[in-house]
Amino acid sequence: MMKEPRVAVVTGGVAGIGRALTERLASDGFAIAVADKSDPSSLVEALHSQGVKAFGQICDVSSPDDVRAFAEATLGRFGHVDVLVMNAGIYPVSAFVDMTWAEWDRVFSINVDQLFHFTKAFLPGMLDRKWGRIVCISSTTFHAGVPMQSHYVASKGAVIGFARALAAEVGESGITVNTIAPGLVRTENTAAGTQSGLFDALAAQQAIKRTEEPADLVGPLSFLVSEDAAFITGQTLIVDGGWVRT
């Protein structure tokens, strides 16, 4: 009898970094569930064509109701979730003196509140099975400090703090909680956004002098969700070509 694959949930998995992470998990043998503000049907169809068990649903990751509906659908389909990758996020640019509370709150509602909603939904099952991998996507901007993004940088610091604290709570239950902190990654969104002019300047400051791509993050994720990383938890893995050196 064939063993059922482990199941991985990825938020923001339709495009950019999230899509690369999703495709790597699929190639590693995981069944996939994607929550994204964009329609994931084309991604799911592509995974199905490769023989991957996959499910996707449009989901506002800041909405308790949307996340609850996604979790119910995912658990109804797969029965359990073993890996949770919280990647969805926004990165607006604004000087603090011009920033409104609504702008600040929106960043935190997406970048931070999803940690509560998704972990609440899937951690109990991991605790029951005494195994789980939770990976949060943060940013090296928290370590470096960058202007014009105080809301974003603060939210990514919160991501790291959450992972460290939760790791201390669930380690005895076979669950690891870690963070990956990328630098500026070239995606369709960043290439078209306000960061587009920063690629070359940032690469010049890195030890590895090229622009980071989504593919640079898939190996670290694959390792952190594997059995080989069973004794690693509460850590932040900086993947930025040596821009931040700690």
Give the domain CATH number at 73: 3.40.50.720
Which of 60-86 are b and which e, b meaning 16 or more Cβ less than 10 Å from the residue's Cβ? bbbbeebbeebbebbbeebebbbbbbb
Q: What is the pLDDT of residues 131-174, one digit of tens each?
A: 999 999 999 999 999 999 999 999 999 999 999 999 999 999 99
* Residue 243 placed within a domain: no
Report the phi/psi class of residue 130: left, alpha or beta, with left for phi > 0 and alpha for psi in -120 to 50. Answer: left
Residue 56, strand partner residues: 34
When divided into structural domains, the chain yields a total of 1
Q: Which residues span the domain enclosing 153?
A: 7-238
Tokens of 177: 């909680």
Residue whose C-alpha is closest to residue 146's, from 100, 193, 97, 183: 183
* Residue 244 placed within a domain: no
- Which pTM value belongs to this model? 0.96
* Residue 2 placed within a domain: no
Q: What is the distance between the alpha carbons of residues 47 and 29, in angstroms, rounded to a whole number?
A: 11
Q: Are 223 and 128 in contact (CB under 8 A)?
A: no
User: With helix as H, strand as E and coil as C, how does 149-163 read?
Assistant: CHHHHHHHHHHHHHH
Would you name the residues annotated as active-site residues?
152
* Residue 208 placed within a domain: yes
Q: What is the pLDDT of residues 13-67, one digit of tens each?
A: 999 999 999 999 999 999 999 999 999 999 999 999 999 999 999 999 999 999 9
* Residue 78 placed within a domain: yes
Please list, in sequence order, all residues whose beta carbon lies within 8 angstroms of the beta carbon of residue 107, skipping any fewer than 6 positions away.
Answer: 90, 92, 151, 152, 155
* Residue 15 placed within a domain: yes
φ, ψ of residue 96 to 5 degrees: the values are -60, -40
Q: What is the pLDDT of residues 121-139, one digit of tens each?
A: 999 999 999 999 999 999 9
